[in-house]
Homo-oligomer: A and B are copies of this chain.
Amino acid sequence: MATAWEQSYLTLRRRLADGTYPAGSRLREEELAAQLGVSRTPIREALRRLDAEGWLRVVPNQGAFAASWSRQDIEEIFDLRALLEAHACEQAAMRPTPAGIAALNAACAAGEASLPATTLAAVEAVSDANVRFHQTIWEMSGQARTRSMLGTLAVPPMILRNFQHFDDANLRRSLAQHREMAAAIASRNPSLAGAVMRAHVEAGKAIFLAGTAQGAAGAAA
C-alpha cells in the first residue's frame, strides 16, 4: 500500500472529478479525515497538492473549496489541451513503439466495440477507451512535464462530461480521428498526427461549448 497522503490525494481527486464534492463547496479537513480513516495530517498534504494542480483552492485560515469552472476557464482548458495534446502527439509520432501502437489500436477497438452507445454504461465504456487512448499518447511522447500538465487540466472528468453531449455521429467521427492519429503515429508522421489531434480537441471544445450554451458549466455535477 502506498502512503496515506497519496491514497487520500487519489481518492479526493476522483471525488472532485465525479462531482461528489460540488463546485464551490467547502471541504473540511476533519470530515475528510474521518471519511478516509486517516488523520488530518495526510489530508492536509493531499489538499496542498490538489491546490497546486488546480482541483481546489486553499484559502489560508478558511479551508479548501472545490474549484468551479467558468466558461472562460473551459475555453482556456480546451485551448491548452489543443496545444499540449498536439505537442505530445507530435512527439509520440517521432518515436513510436510497437507496444504503444498496440495500446492505441486496442483503445480504438474498445471504443468502437461499444457503439452504438445507447446506454450510460456504453457511454462510460467509450469514455474510458477515449481516456486510455489519450493517456497512451502522453506516455508515448516521453515528455514527463507535458504529461503531468495535461493531468492537471482536469482532462478525464471533462472528457466524461463532454461525452454526454456527443450524438452518434460525433462519437463515430471522434473514434475515426483516433484511428487517423494511430495511423499517423505508426507511420512516423508528426505533423499529420499533431494536426489531427488539434482538430480533435477543437471539435470537442465546440461540442462542449454548444452543450453548455447558457447553462452554468461550473455547477454541473
Chain A residues with a Cβ under 8 A of chain B:
2-3, 5-6, 41, 44-45, 48-49, 51-54, 60-61, 72-73, 76-77, 79-80, 83-84, 87, 142-146, 148-149, 152-153
Contact = CB atoms under 8 A, between A and B. Distances in A.
16 contacts: A2-B60, A3-B61, A5-B48, A6-B60, A44-B45, A45-B45, A48-B49, A49-B49, A49-B52, A54-B148, A73-B145, A77-B145, A79-B87, A80-B87, A80-B146, A145-B153
A154 to B, nearest CB: 10
Nearest to A51: B49
> Chain A contact residues: over half helix, strand or loop, or mixed?
helix
Nearest to A87: B83
A140 B180 CA distance: 37
Given A6-B60, A83-B84, 7 more contacts: A5-B48, A49-B49, A49-B51, A49-B52, A54-B145, A73-B145, A80-B146
Nearest 7 pairs of A and B residues by beta carbon: A52-B52, A48-B48, A49-B52, A45-B48, A83-B83, A3-B60, A76-B143
Contacts of A2: 60
A72 B73 CA distance: 31
B76 A144 contact: yes
